Structure 1
Amino acid sequence: MGWFRSFVIIALPLFFISHSRANYTVNARSSVALYWGQGPGQQRLLHFCQQASVDIIPLAFVDIFPEQGNGFPGTNFGNQCWGGSYVYKGPGNDSALNQLQSECPQLIADIPVCQTVYGKKILLSLGGGTTGYQLTGTENGEAFADFLWGAFGPRTQEWLDSGLPRPFDGPNNQSVEVDGFDFDIQVPSTDNEAGYIAMVQRLRSNFVGANKPKIITGAPQCIVPDANMGSMITSTQFDIIWIQYYNTPQCSARNWANANQNYLLTGIEAASGFSYDTWADFLSGTASANAKLYIGLPGAPATADPSSDFYLNTTEMSSLVKAYYCKANFGGIMIWEATAAENNVGPNGTFYQDVKDVLLGYDGNSLLCSISPGNNTSRRRIPATRMATAPLTPTQITRRNPN
C-alpha cells in the first residue's frame, strides 16, 4: 500500500528567495553541500552544478586506499565511470585490486565547468560505508596525501614525468584539480588515527603555495567524539565539519524534531540529545576550533513512518535551522545525497532547493540573530511538507551506491 504525508502550512520568515549563482564563501551561514557519486541512476555532475541552490559538492568516493588497492587507491562514482578493465594499473602484483577508474568522460568534462562557470567547490571524498580502506601509520598517511595531491591537485611536470595517473585531467592537455578533500571515515583505524592525522597535516603543507585556496572537510557521526575521526579532527585543521545527524538515533536531527514540534511557534528548545553544541564545545581549543559546522541531513525519506525516519520534512528542517542558525560557527546544511534530494520534489522544487530557500530566508532576516527566538514575530508561510517520489531502501542511510 502506498503511503501519504499530510500537508502542513506554518509561519516562518522570508522564504521565497529567487535563485542566483551560488558561490561558497568561508563565513557564509547559508551554504548547501550535496554529496554526489553514489545515487542510483544519478544525473551527471553538471546538472547539480547548474543548480544555484548548491554550493559545495563532495565526489563520493575514494573507497579503497593504496595498501588495499595494488598500490593505487580505488574510486567509485557509480554510473559516471566505465567499469571492467578501465582502471589504472597499480605498482603492485595483484591486478585484481586495480580500482582507480580511468574513464569517466562526463565527470572529467563537468568538473572544470562546475568550478569556473558555476562557482562550485568540488571536493574529493575519502572513505564511506565500505571496509576497503585503512591507513597504517604516519608514513603511510603522508604517502597517500602526496599521491592525492599529485593525482588530483595542481598538475606538475615532475608528476607527469613519473608516469603517474591524473584521473580528472581532460583532453587537449587540460589540467583539472579538485578544491579540497573530504573525510568520511567509518572504519575504525588500527593505528589510533595516526595515519589520518599525518595525512591531513601533509595535505595542509601541500596546500601552501597552491594557485587557489583548498579546504579540508569531514563528515563524522553525531556521537561526540566520533570513534573513527575524533582525534584527527582535534589534532589537525578542518575547515568544515558536516556532522551526520542520521543513523545514530540518540543524537539525530529526528530526535530533535520529535522533541521540538512547536519550535517555530514558541522559540523554546526542548532537550533531545542533539549534539551540535556538544560538538562546538568539543572543538573549542583544538586545531579545528574555527571550523564551520554544517548539519547533515538525508535528502529524502527512507521509510513510510515519519516519526522514526531520519529525514526531516520542510517544516521540521526549518525549525532546526532556525534554532541553530545564529550559532557562531554555523555554516549551512549538508545533504546525503544528490539523487535522493533531486527526486524528492515538493511544491517549490527539490529538497535541496527548499533547504537553500530556508537558509536564505533566515539570512535575510536581520533581526533573527539580534533577538531571542521567542521574540521573533517576523514570520511567513513556508512550503508544504514534502512527499518523496519513492522511499529509499534500506532504512539506514547508506554511504555507498546500492547498485
Structure 2
Amino acid sequence: MVVAGFLRLTLSSLLLGIMTHGTVAFDMLSNENLAVYWGQNSYGAINPDNTAHWQQTLSYYCKDNVIDTFPIAFLVDSYAEGNLPSIDLANICNSGNADYFPGTGLLNCSFLASDIEMCQSAGKAVTISLGGGSGNIHFQNDAQAAAYAKTIWNLFLGGTSKTRPFGSAILDGIDMDIEGGSQTGYVSFLTALRKLMNRSKKKYYITAAPQCPYPDGYIGKTLNTVGFDAVYVQFYNNYCGLKHYNNRNDWNFATWDKWAKNVSPNRDVKVYIGAPASSAAGSGYVNSKQMTTIIQQTRSNYSSFGGVMLWDVSDAHANHRYDKAVKQALKSHP
C-alpha cells in the first residue's frame, strides 16, 4: 500500500512537472480549440500492421499539439444491466477484449486510465460523451435524473466507485450528443451534476453536440436552461451544413451566435463548427482549403466562435491528417 501510494505521488509530481514546464493547460475560452471524437472508429478499415487507420488507443492521438479535447464516444445507454450505464468503444474496449463488471452491462476499460492521464498531462481535456446516433439516454422524471448525476460523478468524474470504467482516471467533464428521445430530466441531471462539479477544485466542463437546425429538437430546451461551456454544432447531414456556407439563408452560425449571446445562461459559451473529418460522412464534408476559409471568416465575424469539432479521429488521420490542417487554420490569423 505504501509503495502504491508512493508511485501515485511520483506520477502526480511528474505530471505536474510536465504541466509546469511548457505544456499549456486547456483553455475553454480560446477560439483556437479543436475537439475530435474518439472511440467509435468511424474509418473502420483494418490496417494489417495495426499502425495507421484502424482506431488506435487514445494515447496514440495525444502525441502532438493538434487536438485539444477528446470526447470519448459513447456512453450509449443510461440504464443497462445492474442499473448502470453501458459504454461502447468499438475495437478498443468491447466484450471480446474486456470484461464486464459483475452483474452489470458496464465494461471494465480501466487499462485506458494511463492513456487518459497522459493526454491530460499534455494539457488536453478528455470527456465522456453520452448518446450518439443510437444512444438511449433517458430519464422517467426529474428526481431520477438528479440522482443519476451522482452515478456519472462516481463512475467517470471526481467521485468513487468499484465500477469505474476508466479506473483511476478522472475525466474532465461530459458531452451530450443527443440525437433522439425525450429531454425529460436533462435539466435536473445537468444542474445536479454541475453542483457536484462546482464543489471540486478541479475544473469540469459540460458540452453538447446539437444538430445545426435551430432550435435542436432533442436538446434545444435544455441548452436554453443550463449553462453549457461549449456547443459542438453539427454543421453536416443537414440543410444548414458546411456545404451551404455560401448560402446565408441556410448556413446559420449567425443564429447560434445570437443564441450564445442572448439566450444561453452562460454568455461565455463557445460555439464550435462541427464538421466531418472525411468525405465518408453522409453530407457536409469540405476540403481543408474550404475549411480554412470558413474558419477564418467565421472567427472574424462571430465572437462566440470557439473552434472546430471533428467526427472522428480515425477518419481525420486516414484523411491525410485533416485534423492537422484544421488546427493550422485555427492557429493562423490573417
For residues 199 and 319 of structure 1, the distance between their equivalents in structure 2, rounded to whole angstroms, comes to 38
Q: Which of structures 1 and 2 has the bigger CA Rg?
A: 1
Match of 1:135 in 2: 139
The residue type equivalent to 2:163 in the other structure is P
SS at match of 1:295: strand
Match of 2:13 in 1: none
Match of 1:78 in 2: 90
Report if aligned partners of 1:125, 1:182 keep a CA contact under 8 Å in 2.
yes
Deviations 1:347-396 (A, max 9, x none): xxx1000000011112xx4xxxxxxxxxxxxxxxxxxxxxxxxxxxxxxx
Name the CA shift for 1:139/1:150 in 2 (closer, same or farther; >3 Å).
same
The residue type equivalent to 2:215 in the other structure is P
Report if aligned partners of 2:66, 2:324 keep a CA contact under 8 Å in 1.
yes
In the superposition, the TM-score normalised over structure 1's length comes to 0.71
Match of 2:280 in 1: 302
Match of 1:286 in 2: 264
Match of 1:52 in 2: 65
Greater RCO, 1 or 2 (C-alpha within 8 Å, sep 6+): 1
For residues 215 and 222 of structure 1, the distance between their equivalents in structure 2, rounded to whole angstroms, comes to 21
Match of 2:8 in 1: none
In the superposition, the TM-score normalised over structure 2's length comes to 0.85
Cα shift at 1:23: 4.0
Deviations 1:3-53 (A, max 9, x none): xxxxxxxxxxxxxxxxx9664212211110010000133011001111211
For residues 146 and 276 of structure 2, the distance between their equivalents in structure 1, rounded to whole angstroms, comes to 33
Which residues in structure 2 correspond to 1:89-128 (within 5 Å)? 89-90=102-103, 98-105=104-111, 107-116=112-121, 118-128=122-132
Name the CA shift for 1:183/1:111 in 2 (closer, same or farther; >3 Å).
same
Match of 2:285 among 311, 333, 339: 311
Deviations 1:159-206 (A, max 9, x none): 45xxx412212xxxxx320001000001120xxx23111111011100
For residues 203 and 145 of structure 1, the distance between their equivalents in structure 2, rounded to whole angstroms, comes to 5
Equivalenced residues, count: 299
Match of 2:324 in 1: 353
Q: Any stretches of 5+ residues in structure 1 without a counterpart?
A: 1-19, 91-97, 170-174, 260-269, 366-403
* Structure 1 runs, 4 residues or longer, greater than 6 Å off: none
Structure in which a larger fraction of residues adopt helix: 2
For residues 21 and 30 of structure 1, the distance between their equivalents in structure 2, rounded to whole angstroms, comes to 16
Which residues in structure 2 correspond to 1:56-71 (within 5 Å)? 56-66=69-79, 68-71=80-83
Report if aligned partners of 1:22, 1:52 keep a CA contact under 8 Å in 2.
no
Q: Any stretches of 5+ residues in structure 2 without a counterpart?
A: 1-21, 45-53
For residues 87 and 115 of structure 1, the distance between their equivalents in structure 2, rounded to whole angstroms, comes to 26
SS at match of 1:251: coil
Moved more, 317-326 or 280-289: 280-289
Cα shift at 1:70: 3.6
Deviations 1:67-119 (A, max 9, x none): x44400000111111415711235xxxxxxx42111452x2220111111x11
Match of 2:26 in 1: 24
Report if aligned partners of 2:135, 2:178 keep a CA contact under 8 Å in 1.
no
Moved more, 320-329 or 276-285: 276-285
Report if aligned partners of 1:295, 1:333 keep a CA contact under 8 Å in 2.
yes
Give the root-mean-square deviation of aligned CA atoms: 1.9
For residues 109 and 57 of structure 2, the distance between their equivalents in structure 1, rounded to whole angstroms, comes to 14
Name the CA shift for 1:271/1:140 in 2 (closer, same or farther; >3 Å).
same
Name the CA shift for 1:340/1:292 in 2 (closer, same or farther; >3 Å).
same
Match of 2:319 among 340, 344, 347: 344
For residues 287 and 150 of structure 1, the distance between their equivalents in structure 2, rounded to whole angstroms, comes to 26
